[in-house]
C-alpha cells in the first residue's frame, strides 16, 4: 500500500471526525485549548486503534460488528446531536454547558467517528498489508483534522452564537443519517 493511498484513506476516514469537531468546537463551554487537545487525542487514538483491531479481528468479529455498527454510530451521534440542539434552544445562558470533550460524550463520539476505521483495518488485512504504519498515519491525520475542525467551530460560534450549537446538533444527526444511508446503499 503506497503512502499516497494510506494518506487518502486517512483523510477519508477523518472527514466524519472533522465534521463532528466543528460541531463540538462551536458548542464547547470554555474557549481554551484543553478541550481541543482532549478531542484531538481521543479521536486520533480511536482512529489509530480501530484499524489495528479490525486488522487483528479479520473476518470473524468484523463481520458480526458490521451488521449493526451503522446503527450504533447513528444512535451515538443522534443522542449527542439531540442534546446539543436542546442546549442551543435553551434560553438559560447561565447554565453549566455540557463539555462533550469529557467522559461519556467523548467516548461515544470517539467510537461513532471511528467505526469505519475498523472496517478499513479489516480491508487492509484482506489485502495482506501491514497495519502499523497505516494506523499511525490514520491517527495522526485524524488528530490534525480534528484540531482544525475544533478551531473552525470556535470561530463559527463567535460569529453566530448559539445558532451554531443548534446547527452542530443537526450536523451530528445528519452524519448519523449519512452513515445509515451509506450502509443501505
The answer to whether residues 175 and 20 touch, using CB atoms and an 8 Å cutoff, is: yes
Give the per-residue pLDDT at 60: 65
Q: Is the pLDDT of residue 56 over 70?
A: yes
pLDDT band at 59 (very low <50, low <70, confident <90, very high): low
Most confident of 15-19, 65-69, 71-75, 137-141: 137-141
Residue where the block lists cell 463551554: 29
> Shortest CA distance to 75 belongs to which of 153, 142, 175?
175
Question: What's the rounded mean pLDDT across residues 94-99?
Answer: 60
Give the per-residue pLDDT at 131: 93
Lowest model confidence (mean pLDDT) among 14-18, 33-37, 90-94, 105-109: 90-94
Residue where the block lists cell 450549537: 165
The answer to whether residues 168 and 22 touch, using CB atoms and an 8 Å cutoff, is: yes
Query: Distance between CA atoms of 114 and 44, rounded to whole angstroms?
Result: 9
| Higher pLDDT pick, 21 / 96 | 21
> Shortest CA distance to 118 belongs to which of 62, 67, 175, 63?
62
Question: What's the rounded mean pLDDT across residues 86-101?
Answer: 69
Q: pLDDT, tens digit, for every residue of 134-175?
A: 999 999 999 999 999 999 998 988 888 778 778 888 888 888
| Higher pLDDT pick, 172 / 22 | 22
Global pTM reads 0.82
Q: Share the mean pLDDT of the chain.
A: 86
Query: Distance between CA atoms of 34 and 32, rounded to whole angstroms?
Result: 6
Amino acid at each position: 500500500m503506497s503512502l499516497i493511498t494510506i494518506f487518502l484513506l486517512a483523510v477519508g476516514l477523518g472527514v466524519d471526525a472533522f465534521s463532528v469537531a466543528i460541531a463540538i468546537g462551536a458548542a464547547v463551554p470554555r474557549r481554551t485549548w484543553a478541550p481541543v487537545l482532549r478531542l484531538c487525542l481521543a479521536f486520533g487514538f480511536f482512529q489509530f486503534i480501530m484499524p489495528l483491531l479490525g486488522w487483528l479481528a479479520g473476518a470473524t468479529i468484523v463481520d458480526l460488528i458490521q451488521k449493526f455498527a451503522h446503527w450504533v454510530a447513528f444512535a451515538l451521534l443522534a443522542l449527542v446531536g439531540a442534546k446539543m440542539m436542546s442546549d442551543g434552544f435553551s434560553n438559560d445562558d447561565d447554565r453549566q454547558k455540557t463539555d462533550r470533550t469529557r467522559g461519556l460524550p467523548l467516548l461515544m463520539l470517539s467510537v461513532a467517528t471511528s467505526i469505519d476505521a475498523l472496517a478499513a483495518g479489516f480491508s487492509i488485512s484482506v489485502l495482506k498489508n501491514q497495519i502499523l504504519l497505516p494506523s499511525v498515519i490514520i491517527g495522526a491525520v485524524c488528530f490534525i483534522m480534528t484540531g482544525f475542525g475544533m478551531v473552525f467551530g470556535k470561530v463559527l460560534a463567535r460569529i453566530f452564537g448559539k445558532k451554531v450549537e443548534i446547527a452542530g446538533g443537526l450536523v451530528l444527526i445528519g452524519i448519523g443519517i449519512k452513515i445509515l444511508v451509506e450502509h443501505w446503499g
